[in-house]
C-alpha cells in the first residue's frame, strides 16, 4: 500500500502559491528610519544636554555667594561678604573691626549727601577684594580694588578706603533742579 502524503505537503503547487512566491515582500519600517536627520538631531541635543549638565555640576563649587554683614548698623552703608559656595566667611569680624571707624566716617559723609553705599568684600589669603557702589537719586559710581597685604597696616588700609570713597563721591554729579 502506498502512503499518501498529506495535502499540505503535496508536490503540486497551485496558482496562488506561485503568485505568493513572486509577490513583493513588505518589510516593516520604523518611524525613526524614515527621518534619520531628526534622530541625529535629537541624539545631538541629548549629548549637549548631558555635557552642559555635567559642566554645571562640575564647577558649582566655584560659584560665589554673598551674605549681608552688620545689618542695621549704618543708615547709608550695606556690607556684603563674598565667599565660595558652601563656605562661610571667616574674616567677617576681622574686616569689620579693622574698618569700623572709617565706615562710621563714611556713613556720616554719605548721610549728608543722601547717597547710599554698598560694599562687597572678599578676603583670599593676603588679598582683600573690595568693591563699592555709590548711588544717589542723580548718579551712581562704583570702584573695585584688590588690596594686597591688607592686614599689615590698618591705618594705611583705612586711609586708602576713605580717600577712594571721597574721590568717588566727589566725581558724582549733584542733582540740578529745573
Residue 56, domain member (yes or no): no
Residue 166, domain member (yes or no): yes
- Quote the domain boundaries for residue 164: 62-171
Average pLDDT over the chain reads 80
Contact 76, 111 (CB under 8 A): yes
Domain count, the chain: 1
Per-residue pLDDT at 2: 59
**Could you tell me the CATH number of the domain that includes residue 83?**
3.30.160.100
Q: Model confidence at 178, in pLDDT bands (50, 70, 90)? A: very low
Ramachandran region, residue 72 (left: φ > 0; alpha: ψ -120 to 50; beta: rest): left
Residue pLDDT, tens place only, 55-98: 777 766 667 877 788 888 899 999 998 887 766 655 555 788 88
Residue 128, domain member (yes or no): yes
Whole-model pTM: value is 0.61
Residue 107, domain member (yes or no): yes
Residue pLDDT, tens place only, 140-164: 899 999 999 888 888 999 999 999 9
Amino acid at each position: 500500500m502506498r502512503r499518501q502524503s498529506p495535502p499540505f505537503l503535496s508536490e503540486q503547487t497551485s496558482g496562488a502559491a506561485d503568485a505568493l512566491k513572486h509577490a513583493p515582500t513588505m518589510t516593516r519600517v520604523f518611524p525613526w528610519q524614515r527621518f534619520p536627520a531628526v534622530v541625529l538631531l535629537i541624539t545631538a541635543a541629548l549629548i549637549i544636554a548631558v555635557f552642559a549638565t555635567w559642566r554645571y555640576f562640575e564647577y558649582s563649587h566655584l560659584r560665589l555667594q554673598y551674605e549681608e554683614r552688620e545689618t542695621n548698623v549704618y543708615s547709608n552703608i550695606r556690607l556684603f561678604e563674598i565667599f565660595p559656595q558652601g563656605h562661610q566667611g571667616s574674616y567677617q569680624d576681622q574686616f569689620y573691626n579693622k574698618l569700623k571707624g572709617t565706615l562710621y566716617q563714611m556713613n556720616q559723609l554719605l548721610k549728608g549727601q543722601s547717597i547710599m553705599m554698598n560694599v562687597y568684600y572678599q578676603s583670599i589669603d593676603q588679598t582683600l577684594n573690595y568693591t563699592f557702589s555709590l548711588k544717589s537719586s542723580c548718579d551712581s559710581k562704583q570702584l573695585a580694588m584688590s588690596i594686597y597685604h591688607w592686614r599689615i597696616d590698618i591705618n594705611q588700609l583705612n586711609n586708602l578706603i576713605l580717600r577712594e570713597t571721597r574721590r568717588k563721591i566727589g566725581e558724582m554729579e549733584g542733582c540740578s533742579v529745573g
